[in-house]
A and B are shown apart, each in its own frame.
Chain A
Amino acid sequence: MYTLGIDIGSASSKAVILADGLRPVAGQAIQAGTGSSGPKQAVERALDEAKLTLSDIAASVATGYGRFTCELTDRQVSEISCHARGVSHQLPSARLVIDIGGQDAKVIRLDAQGAVWQFLMNEKCAAGTGRFLEVMSRVLEISLREMGAYHDRSSRPAAVSSTCTVFAESEVISLLAAGAAKPDIIAGIHRSVAVKVCGLASRVGWEDDIAMSGGVARNQGVVKALEAELGRPIKITPEPQLAGALGAALYAFDQYQSKNKTGG
C-alpha cells in the first residue's frame, strides 16, 4: 500500500511515496514551486522512481504554500504539522525543529510525544529565509551549493544586517566595494540568518534536541552558524528538503487507515 505526500513550496516542489506508512520508496525535489509545473513534475518523477502509477496510490496529502492549488489531492495539512511529523519520524528524539524554506523560516517546538506543541514563523520579511540566501548568492555570483565551502574559509565574518533583505543586499554590495573577502561576507550572511532564526527560537522556547529540515539545511555554513548562535548541536534529517513531503505522506497513511477503520 502506497501513500503520497506533496510539498508545494514557493521555490520548489517535493514528492515522497511511502510504502505501508513506513518505508520511503521515492523522493523527488524540483526547483519550481507553486503556480509552476513543479508539483506535477515532482509527482511524475516520484512515481517513475517507485515504478508506480497514480492509481497505485491509496491516499495523498498536499502541504506547503501551494497546498490548496494541488489538483492531485483534496486533503491539505499545514507545513508546520508536516515538517514536524517528517522530522519526528526520522529523528524521534528531536524537540525543536528548525525549518528554513524558500519563503519562510519556522521554529516548531515538539512535546514529549513528538507532537507539535508550539510554533513560530518569520513575519512577512524574507530575511532569514532561503530567498534571502538566493538574493545574496546572486549578488556574490556564487551558487547556493558553494556557499557552505566558502563559509569554512572565513577568518573574520563580516557584519550583515538581519532585519531586512533589501538593506542586507545593499550592505553586501558595500562590503564587496570595500574589498571584503567573499568567504567573510558569506559567513556574515549565514550568521544573519542564524540570528533571525535564533530570535524565533528564543520566542518559542528553548529545547536541547534540535533538528533541522528544509532545503537550506543542505548549506553547512548556515547549519554551523546556527549551531554557534544557539550554542547547541543540530541534527539534520537525511533528506532535509523532503521532510515536509514525508510528513504529508505519513498523514496520508493515517487518512488511509482511518478510512479503512470506518469503512469509508
Chain B
Amino acid sequence: MSQIRELLDCFKKVATCPGKIVREYREKTGKGAVGCFPVYTPEEIPHAAGMLPVGMWGGETTLRLAPSALPSFACSIMQSITELQLQGVYDSLVAVIVSSPCDTLKAMGQKWRRQVPCIQFAHSRNTKIDAAADYTRREYQSIRARLEAACATTISDEAIQTSVRIYNEHRQVMREFSGLAASHPDLVNPIDRHMVMKSAFFMRKENHTVLVKALNGLLAKAAKKPWEGVKIIVSGIMLEPVSVLEVFKQNQIAVVGDDLAQESRQYRVDAPEGADPLDSLARQWLSMYGCSLIPDPEKSRFSLLRSLVEQRGADGIVLCVMKFCEPEEFDYPPMKAYMEKNGINLLQIEIDQQIQSVEQIRTRIQSFAEILRAQRARRASIAQL
C-alpha cells in the first residue's frame, strides 16, 4: 500500500514540475526538450533524436498577453499555450511541433512568436485511402528534416524504429494501468490516475514505462475491495484543472476509464512495426478512431464509450467539453441522443483552464453522483423483490 502511494507521489511530482524535469534532463544528457502540441503529434521522431518530447497542454494561467494573438473564442488550451509562449515559458525548448486537427490549431504556427523553431504539420484528413499514408508519411519526413536542423543531429530510421517499439510498449503498459486503476478505485483516486497519465508527457517513455510497470505489478497483487461510491467514464479533450478532479474525489466518484485526448485516446492504437518507421507511424494515424478530432463518419466514439461503460461496470459518463472546442461541441448532440437511446447516464461539464471557481461544476457533479446513487439504490431494491 505504501509502495503504491510512494509511486503515485512520484508521478505527481513529475506531472506538477515539468520545468524542473526539463532542466534536469538537459543537465544530465546535454540534450534538450521538444514541445509537442496536442494531439497525436508523432513524439517518436524527437524521441529518436535523443530529445525529451514534452506534451504542451496549457495550464492554469491568467490571460494577459494571449488576447493580442488569439480571439476570445479560441479554446482554453490554446489560450493558455499562447499566454505561456508569450511569457517566454517555452523559450528553453529546442523546437515545438504543432499538429493541425482543428481550426484553432491550424493557425497556431502563425501565432508562434518566439525564437524557438516551430514545426507545423497536418495529418491527412481522409484516412481511408492509400494516398493518406503517403501524405502523412511525407509530413512526418518533413518533421524529421526540420527537427534534424533544429537539433543539429541526424535521426536515423533505426533510431525511429527503436522509438516506435518503446512507444508501443508504453501504450500497452498504459492500457494495462487504466484497467488496473479501474479495479482499485480505493487505491487510485481520480487525481492519482490523472497524474500517472499526465506524467508521461514529461518523461522519456522508456523510463515512464518502468515506473508504470512497477505500479501495475503492485496493483495486480493488491486485494480488490468493494467500492461504495459511483464509477464513471470520462470523455473529452482533457480533465483539468485538478480542482475539478478534487470534486470527483470529494463525491466518491471513481474514474474507471477514459476517452480523453490527453489520456487514453493516445494509447488506443499501436504503430505497426515495419521496415519504414515513418510509414509505420503514418499507418498508426490511419488506424486511429473514436476521437472528435479524427474524421469518423461512423462516430465509433459512441459505441466505444458504451463498451467501456459495460466492460468497467460504470454508472455513467462525464463529457468534459473543452471551452470553445468546436469538434467536441459538435459531438455532444448525437452523443446525448445515442446515450439516451442506450440508457446510459451522461453529464456534460465545461473545461476551462482559466476557471477561477468550480462551484457550478461542483453542483453539477454532486447532482450527477446523487442521480447515479439513487438509480443504483432503486436497482438494488428491485433486485431484492
Pick the contact of A117 from B350, B360, B363, B371 — CB < 8 Å?
B371
Pick the contact of B367 from A113, A116, A124, A205 — CB < 8 Å?
A116
Q: Does B242 contact A (CB under 8 A)?
A: no
Number of A-B residue pairs, CB cutoff 8 Å, is: 38
CB distance from A89 to the nearest CB of B (A): 15
| Residues of chain B from 345 to 383 with CB closer than 8 A to chain A in the complex | 350, 359-360, 363-364, 366-367, 370-371, 374-375, 378
Contact: A104 with B370, CB < 8 Å? no
> Complex formed: what's the CA distance from A65 to B374 in Å?
22
> Complex formed: what's the CA distance from A115 to B360 in Å?
21
Pick the contact of A116 from B359, B360, B363, B370 — CB < 8 Å?
B370
Contact: A119 with B378, CB < 8 Å? no
CB distance from B225 to the nearest CB of A (A): 21
Contact: B364 with A121, CB < 8 Å? yes
Which A residue sits closest to B337, measured CB to CB?
A: A205
Residues in B neighbouring A124, C-beta threshold 8 A: 360
Pick the contact of A78 from B350, B363, B375 — CB < 8 Å?
B363
Q: What bracket does the count of chain B residues touching chain A fall in?
A: 10 to 19
> Complex formed: what's the CA distance from A54 to B375 in Å?
33
Q: Does A71 contact B (CB under 8 A)?
A: no
Residues in B neighbouring A113, C-beta threshold 8 A: 378
Residues in B neighbouring A77, C-beta threshold 8 A: 366, 370
> Complex formed: what's the CA distance from A117 to B343 in Å?
10
Q: Does A73 contact B (CB under 8 A)?
A: no
Q: A80-B367, A123-B350 given as contacts; is B374 within 8 A of A115 (CB)?
A: yes
> Complex formed: what's the CA distance from A76 to B367 in Å?
11
Contact: B378 with A115, CB < 8 Å? yes
Pick the contact of B370 from A65, A81, A123, A205 — CB < 8 Å?
A81
Q: A115-B374, A116-B374, A123-B350 given as contacts; is B360 within 8 A of A104 (CB)?
A: yes
B→A interface (CB under 8 Å): 340, 350, 359-360, 363-364, 366-367, 370-371, 374-375, 378
A→B interface (CB under 8 Å): 65, 76-81, 104, 113, 115-117, 119, 121, 123-124, 205
Q: List 22 A-B contacts (CB under 8 A).
A: A65-B363, A77-B366, A77-B370, A78-B367, A78-B370, A80-B363, A80-B364, A80-B367, A80-B370, A81-B371, A113-B378, A115-B371, A115-B374, A116-B367, A116-B370, A116-B371, A116-B374, A117-B371, A121-B360, A121-B364, A123-B350, A205-B340
